[in-house]
Amino acid sequence: MSRFATVLAASLLSASVVQAATYSVKDTFVGPSFLTGFTAQAIADPTNGRVNYVSQAQAKSLNLTYTSSDTFILRADDTTTLTPSGPGRNSVRLQSNKLYDTSLLVADIRWMPQGCGTWPALWSFGTNWPYDGEIDIIEGVNDQGPDASTLHTSPGCTLPSSISGQTGTLVSTDCNTADNGNQGCQVKSTNSNSYGPSFNNNGGGWYAMERTSTYIKVWFWPRNSANVPAGVKNGGSNLNTANFGTPFANFVNTDCDISSHFGPHHIIINLTFCGDWAGQQSLYAAAGCPGTCVDYVNNHPAAFKNAYWDFAALRMYE
């Protein structure tokens, strides 16, 4: 074998090793542990939503977060008619107390918020945004699926125009928050059950996000999937992503130095309304939603009885 061939073979072998890893469970959030491992942030919504994020104590007293031994619920107020000049609809934004770097997140979710005007997300970001980056695992608006996973970064991070090793559809390639209205670089799932009412009507499913210094991957398995790995389904203590199959999103480092664009991240679970994305009138109307987003959120509290997260578990592996 020539020296070139030897080097090439070694390089390919190294690449195959780098593209999967074995992880051990570090933190498990099930039921009450969500309320000790995460903290509600009573802050102004950075996305300008028609929302009032409440504190940990308020979330508990208003029954916007509650748990059982195997269930965690995060929901929005569904009884109050809002005044136009007053605060937005009460809801919750949870942030993990710990920061995570190279890691594997696995979430077992039974239900995600649905309804016109809703903008739920499961995501992660660093304390020095956007320089520490942002990874949107689950995100969408106005019940419009399928799910889209997105990276948001400082300048100098893009995706190639064609990516192998993923089943999703590449939507945009520029991750820079300063470009294209902060669209980010985005890959959309091709699974119709990955978001919104279709996700909920199918019993939910499992999401996984693997983050390393050279790639970020996102998988989704619907509840009735025959392909969900046993360790993912059963909350195994050790997981090997080589057994996960092809992710729907494979964010590669071809044109982005992931290690310099992403720092340690908090995990965020939140639900906002309207705002910079869900509140765009063209998108809101195209989803078949009535009137304007803000008016709908203000005056139709009962429409949000299904605007809640139901987590069976969230596990962090390192």
DSSP 8-state symbol, 100:
B
Four-residue CA torsion sign, 114, 194, 249, 125: positive
How far is Cα 244 from Cα 126, in angstroms, rounded to an integer?
A: 26
| Given the residues 139, 147, 174, 210, the one annotated as active site | 139
Phi, then psi, of 199 in degrees rounded to 5? -60, -50
Cβ burial of 116 (10 Å; 0-12, 13-18, 19+) is buried
How far is Cα 191 from Cα 12, in angstroms, rounded to an integer?
A: 30
Residue type, 317: Y
Sorted by sequence, the CB contacts under 8 Å of residue 89 that are 6+ apart come out as: 50, 51, 52, 76, 77, 80, 82, 273, 297, 301, 304
Is 134 an annotated catalytic residue?
A: yes
How far is Cα 297 from Cα 88, in angstroms, rounded to an integer?
A: 8
How far is Cα 287 from Cα 301, in angstroms, rounded to an integer?
A: 19
Phi-psi sector, 264: left (phi>0), alpha (psi -120 to 50), beta: beta
Is 318 an annotated catalytic residue?
A: no
| Given the residues 27, 108, 132, 134, the one annotated as active site | 134
How far is Cα 96 from Cα 266, in angstroms, rounded to an integer?
A: 5
As a residue count, the chain comes to: 318
Positions marked catalytic: 134, 139
